[in-house]
């Protein structure tokens, strides 16, 4: 065992306090006020409340799976209100629900452990596929002596299983509806808080008279209760906006009929909605949602006025004056700029978000002018017939507002001829036909009264992509020396010279994670250096090549919070935590064992952070994580997750930012900048790509058209790579048009490296190139095979995690049998060492 960086004291550290104070000072901005008749914030005299709902004492801090964070404590909403001086007069109801929930959890864990024993797999594998469902609430039958009732709706979801359009999940159940109705009928002020990580059905709330305020508090991490109390009292000002469209009906989402298990087919997913995801669909097809993308109220009102629009072949700039027109409360507003592109040979959505900016905190009557700027070429669409991004000639209408359905046309940009902005090649051919939907023809808009700006096609320059043709074999020209990474650091050798000296066996080991032959390498057990870290790459001591240690995210670092070490330095069993599953320390644990502690901060989940629309805030959260990475010696954070919210039922939507690629890419870039402000720490953006479902996630084939891939499912990754250059990318489990992401050279070399200029290394998700059925991660009968280990190398998927001996053997035999080249292995080894060189 190497050096341990965990702490030997369980006292709260200064860094823990500092990080929690930072989260508390910022996270209130992420909450979205859906409805408010002036009830919020609560007045100083309104400190006696009747508090109900499953989330009152059992507030969900974040989703389940590898994205869970093992923090020291979790402050629920009940505790947060009590700490703020509230008198909660519904203790009897809360105590009764505690007992109902405790019994249900005990039964669930008994069932999990029984199934795990029967299948000979760790309990967490059963928990992945069979998530816990909260029991029915006890009905509220008496009215307390207060005017204010607060009801907390909680929903949880996680890795390995998609949600369902049923009661207790997407829909409210009968008990919840009855309890909310009772409160609305019997209290002067009824407030509903949504402690959710993704969209739920809000019809029962909108159809119930007497509800005075509805707010999405999201899942705020381990001090969520304190943050909610701050917002309810006005100490913190909510200024969040939706990053998803909340539909009137689940069936309004274009993928609703066929998503995941909805049609009984979890092997093949056909993206028939094409580019029409989220507001692109609702706006284009004229379907009115319950709450539109970008919507959010806050505690005050704003007015905005477009002051100027300028544009040329490089940038479009939209200046908007924002005024807080309220009389009592400060607030922040988000200005969103959308563009309606001309209808030409390329079909287009009605409008698309092209930029956004958030004001500072404005006091009543205060004004501020914000300028939203974006690249002119970002308005281009992908034309599969030309294999290029194209700005079609015609009128581009620029619109500014504060949500997708509240915008004002501000200017018209007129382009005289088509412009090819980027000349590519088509990379994502379909393996089966996909019958995509098509937009209705729209009437030409009268833009005669708007400012007109002429754009000349002659001034644009076409970017021409050069694609890698082959990977030459590096020859060892310094065979008389034994080069090490120290030689590279000190300038005595190049990275290529070091790689050229490595044997095939050394490189094969490098390209596979550090596996333990005696361990199952399940989530949180595949690192030999940091207990509870997800895994690490292989080090080669005599070459001074260190391993990189990787920890799960994205709502903080996921490590084992408490472990014990024997006097001889051996890490002892016990202390592993996975949600409700806690492995106790055995009775025969030596009394003189040394206790170690690794408490990490659980920050708000990605979908909640994104609702801030504040990239500085998200960068600060990344910086917070980077500090803890330094403390516990983590090199790579397996985060941020940035897949598109294609459908509300994806089990991991809480880990991802938005239905919109610009929002997703901007958030991931900000998060990465924060983490990578520390030398030697990096992010791993994931899951690359088109990872939209959790059911049968390892063997699901996503059938997606070229244009849809590029404009929706890859665009966010492109933004993150070009803006922040993360150290690593994690491929997704799924196949894309018949090819596993981890085996897809066009994806990993053609798009990621050749088109976008990615410089780091690519790793698989865990067990992508192993038969996951043997450890309970996949059903027995699957239509498609797992990813191929040699094909990972050929594709440029540099590291296979967590790794096994068979992966190493397959790489070596792949070269020896001519299925992959030595140059392929050297290329991957070089990518890995390029990142290792930046780590300490």
- Positions marked active-site: 765
What secondary structure does DSSP assign to 277-319, as a single string?
-THHHHHHHTPPPSB-TT----SS-EEEEEEEEEE-SSEEEEE
Helix, strand, coil shares, percent, the chain, to 5: 30, 20, 50
List CB contacts of 546: < 8 A, sequence separation 6 or more.
Answer: 485, 539, 836, 839, 840
How open is the CA angle 542-546-548, to the nearest 5 degrees?
Answer: 155
Return the ∠ at Cα 401 (arms to 398 and 402), rounded to 5°. Answer: 145
Instruction: Give me 31's structure tokens.
Output: 């909450």
Asked if 330 and 381 count as a contact pair (C-beta separation under 8 A), the reply is no
> Would you say the C-alpha torsion 792, 793, 797, 803 has a positive or negative sign?
positive
Q: Report the side by side order of strands in the sheet with 701-703.
A: 268-270, 701-703, 735-736, 739-740
- To 5 degrees, how large is the angle CA 172–CA 175–CA 180? 75
Q: Report helix, strand or coil for 223.
A: coil
Q: Which of 583, 589, 591, 602 is nearest to 531 (CA)?
A: 583
Q: List the one residue out of 302, 462, 499, 441 whose CA is nearest residue 387.
A: 462
Q: Three-state SS for 191?
A: strand
User: What is the token pair recorded at 730?
Assistant: 């994690």
Spatial neighbors of 266 by CB under 8 A, at least 6 apart, are 260, 693, 695, 696, 700
List helix spans (H) across 633-742: 661-675, 706-708, 715-724
Q: In whole angstroms, what is the distance from residue 409 CA to residue 58 CA?
A: 45
d(CA 162, CA 832): 33
Q: What is the DSSP string of 590-641?
A: -TTPEEEE-----PPPHHHHHTT--HHHHHHHHHHHHHHHHHHT--EEE--B
Q: Are 149 and 50 in contact (CB under 8 A)?
A: yes
Alpha carbon separation from 365 to 36, 225, 297, 326, 327 (Å, rounded): 21, 32, 17, 7, 7
Strand ranges of the sheet holding 728-731, from the earlier edge strand across to the other edge: 535-536, 549-552, 636-638, 682-688, 728-731, 761-763
- Asked if 804 contacts 810 with a C-beta cutoff of 8 angstroms, the reply is no
Phi, then psi, of 153 in degrees rounded to 5: -90, 125
Compute the C-alpha angle 621/41/659, nearest 5°.
45
Across the beta sheet with 189-195, the strand order is 32-36, 213-216, 189-195, 148-154, 48-52, 87-88
Strand ranges, E, within 425-533: 451-455, 463-464
Taken in order 163, 52, 226, 211, the sign of the CA dihedral is: positive
Instruction: Give strand pairing partners of 661.
Output: none
């Amino acid at each position: 065992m190497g050096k341990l960086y965990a702490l030997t004291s369980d006292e709260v550290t200064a860094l823990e306090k500092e990080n929690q104070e930072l989260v508390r000072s910022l996270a209130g901005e992420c909450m979205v006020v859906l409805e408010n008749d002036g009830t919020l914030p609560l007045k100083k005299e309104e400190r006696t409340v009747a508090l109900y709902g499953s989330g009152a004492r059992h507030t969900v801090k974040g989703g389940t799976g590898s994205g869970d964070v093992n923090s020291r404590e979790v402050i629920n909403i009940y505790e947060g209100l009590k700490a703020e001086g509230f008198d909660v007069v519904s203790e009897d109801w809360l105590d009764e629900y505690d007992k109902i929930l405790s019994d249900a959890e005990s039964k669930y864990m008994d069932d999990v452990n029984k199934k795990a024993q029967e299948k000979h797999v760790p309990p967490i594998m059963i928990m992945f596929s069979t998530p816990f469902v909260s029991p029915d609430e006890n009905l509220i039958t008496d009215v307390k002596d207060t005017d204010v009732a607060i009801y907390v709706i909680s929903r949880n979801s996680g890795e390995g299983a998609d949600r369902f359009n049923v009661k207790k999940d997407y829909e409210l159940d009968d008990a919840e509806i009855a309890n909310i109705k009772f409160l609305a009928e019997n209290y002067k002020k009824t407030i509903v808080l949504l402690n959710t990580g993704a969209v739920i059905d809000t019809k029962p709330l909108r159809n119930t008279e007497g509800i005075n305020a509805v707010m999405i508090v999201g899942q705020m991490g381990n001090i969520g209760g304190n943050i909610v109390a701050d917002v309810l009292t006005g100490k913190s000002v909510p200024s969040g906006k939706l990053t998803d469209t909340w539909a009137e009906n689940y069936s309004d989402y274009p993928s609703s009929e066929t998503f995941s298990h909805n049609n009984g087919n979890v092997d093949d997913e056909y993206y028939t909605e094409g580019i029409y995801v989220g507001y692109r669909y609702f706006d284009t097809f004229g379907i009115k949602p319950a709450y539109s993308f970008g919507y959010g109220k806050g505690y005050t009102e704003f007015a905005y006025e477009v002051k100027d629009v300028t544009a040329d072949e490089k940038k479009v700039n939209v200046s908007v004056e924002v005024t807080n027109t309220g009389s009592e409360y400060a607030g922040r507003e988000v200005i969103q700029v959308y563009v309606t592109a001309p209808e030409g040979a390329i079909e287009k959505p009605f409008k698309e978000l092209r930029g956004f900016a958030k004001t500072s905190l404005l006091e009543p009557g205060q004004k501020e002018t914000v300028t939203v700027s974006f690249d002119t070429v970002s308005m281009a669409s992908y034309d599969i017939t030309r294999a290029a991004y194209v700005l079609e000639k015609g009128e581009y209408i620029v619109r500014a507002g504060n949500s997708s359905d509240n915008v004002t046309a501000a200017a018209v940009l007129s382009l005289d001829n088509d412009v090819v902005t980027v000349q590519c090649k088509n990379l994502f051919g379909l393996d089966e036909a996909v019958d995509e939907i098509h937009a209705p023809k729209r009437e030409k808009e009268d833009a005669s009264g708007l400012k007109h700006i002429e754009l000349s096609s002659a001034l644009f320059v076409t970017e021409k992509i050069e694609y890698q043709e082959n990977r030459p074999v590096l020859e060892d020209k310094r065979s008389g020396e034994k080069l090490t990474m120290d030689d590279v650091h000190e300038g005595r050798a190049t990275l290529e010279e070091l790689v050229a000296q490595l044997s095939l066996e050394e490189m094969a080991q490098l390209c596979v994670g550090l596996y333990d032959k005696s361990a199952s390498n399940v989530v949180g057990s595949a690192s030999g250096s940091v207990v509870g870290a997800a895994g690490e790459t292989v080090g080669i001591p005599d070459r001074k090549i260190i391993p990189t240690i990787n920890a799960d995210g994205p709502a903080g670092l996921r490590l084992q919070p408490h472990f014990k070490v024997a006097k001889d330095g051996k890490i002892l069993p016990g202390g592993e935590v996975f949600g409700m599953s806690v492995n106790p320390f055995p009775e025969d644990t030596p009394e003189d064992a040394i206790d170690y502690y690794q408490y990490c901060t659980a920050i708000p989940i990605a979908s909640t952070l994104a609702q801030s629309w504040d990239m500085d805030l998200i960068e600060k959260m990344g910086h917070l994580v980077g500090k803890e990475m330094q403390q516990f010696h983590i090199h790579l954070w397996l985060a941020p997750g940035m897949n598109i919210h294609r459908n509300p039922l994806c089990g991991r939507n809480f880990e991802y930012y938005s239905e919109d690629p610009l929002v997703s890419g901007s958030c991931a870039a900000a998060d990465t900048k924060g983490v990578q402000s520390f030398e030697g720490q990096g992010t791993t953006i994931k899951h690359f790509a088109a990872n939209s479902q959790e059911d049968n996630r390892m063997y699901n084939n996503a059938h997606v058209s070229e244009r849809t891939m590029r404009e929706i499912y890859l665009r966010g990754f492109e933004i993150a790579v070009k803006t922040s250059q993360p150290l690593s990318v994690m491929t997704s489990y799924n196949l894309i048009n018949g090819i596993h992401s981890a085996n897809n050279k066009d994806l990993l070399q053609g798009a990621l490296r050749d088109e976008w200029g990615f410089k780091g290394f690519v790793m698989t998700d865990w067990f992508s190139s192993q038969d996951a059925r043997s450890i309970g991660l996949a059903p027995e009968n699957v239509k498609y095979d797992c990813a191929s280990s040699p094909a990972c190398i050929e594709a440029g998927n540099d590291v296979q995690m967590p790794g096994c001996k068979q992966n190493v053997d397959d790489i070596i035999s792949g070269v020896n049998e001519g299925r992959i080249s030595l140059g392929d292995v050297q290329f991957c080894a070089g990518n890995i060492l390029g990142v290792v060189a930046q780590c300490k």
